């Protein structure tokens, strides 16, 4: 079973993806994590994307599609969770083509529905928690980048809800509840 977790920054995609990994032995494919890893490794690509990411803008489709294709061709999994990918209509088309090419299907697109004030609060909270715990704070977890990330989401990613609705794949889940409640709702969708 392959699924997409869709939703704005701070909606809880990463948190829910990690639960699905634990509970269902699925594999999480987070392009954000892959890009942060590339930055840490000091590769040419990592350097190129660092500034774009810190500003809160999207990196090019070509880069993230390449990262995803590499995983799909090298990682064996009972199911993939696409977390933070696709983020544009071009990426969504490319994912569809890649899945076809590898004989795989897309089984559900789960949209974590939240409201904007909660998002801002969560992201500011995430940065504060990291700071308190002496952990590195994401370069894009600040108010200015967050505004850009939200705008990128509404301009480029939110059309994907219509795209997947039209394909009959979209399932909305209330992302405002406690982590366990959201997880239970997702489980309900996946087991239906």
Whether 19 is a known active-site residue: answer: no
Whether 138 is a known active-site residue: answer: yes
41 vs 192 by CB, closer to ligand AMP: 41
Whether 149 is a known active-site residue: answer: yes
92 vs 183 by CB, closer to ligand AMP: 92
Whether 87 is a known active-site residue: answer: yes
19 vs 149 by CB, closer to ligand AMP: 149
Asked if residues 31 and 84 have their Cβ atoms less than 8 Å apart, the reply is yes
Task: By CB under 6 A, name the binding residues for ligand AMP.
Answer: 9, 31-32, 35, 52-53, 56-59, 64, 84-85, 87, 91, 140, 149
Minimal distance, residue 192 CB to ligand AMP, in Å: 27
Asked if residues 179 and 122 have their Cβ atoms less than 8 Å apart, the reply is no
Non-local (6+) Cβ contacts of 141 within 8 A are: 123, 124, 126, 127, 130
Please state, as a whole number, how many other Cβ atoms lie within 10 Å of the Cβ of residue 189: 14
Peptide bond into 86 cis (omega under 30): yes
Catalytic residue ranges: 13, 87, 126, 138, 149
């Amino acid at each position: 079973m392959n699924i997409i977790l869709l939703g704005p920054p701070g909606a809880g995609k990463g948190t829910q993806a990690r639960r699905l990994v634990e509970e269902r032995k699925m594999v999480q494919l987070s392009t954000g994590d892959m890009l942060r890893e590339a930055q840490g490794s000091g590769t040419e690509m990592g350097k190129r994307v660092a500034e774009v990411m810190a500003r809160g803008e999207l990196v090019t489709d070509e880069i993230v599609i390449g990262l995803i294709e590499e995983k799909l061709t090298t990682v064996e999994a009972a199911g993939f969770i696409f977390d933070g990918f696709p983020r544009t209509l071009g990426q969504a088309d490319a994912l569809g083509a890649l899945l076809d090419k590898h004989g795989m299907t897309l089984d559900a697109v789960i949209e974590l529905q939240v409201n904007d004030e909660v998002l801002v609060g969560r992201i500011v909270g995430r940065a504060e928690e990291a700071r308190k715990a002496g952990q590195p704070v994401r370069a894009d977890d600040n108010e200015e980048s967050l505004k850009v990330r939200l705008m990128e989401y509404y301009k480029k990613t939110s059309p994907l809800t219509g795209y997947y609705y039209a394909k009959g794949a979209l399932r909305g889940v209330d992302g405002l509840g406690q982590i366990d409640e959201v997880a239970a709702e997702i489980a309900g969708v996946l087991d239906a």
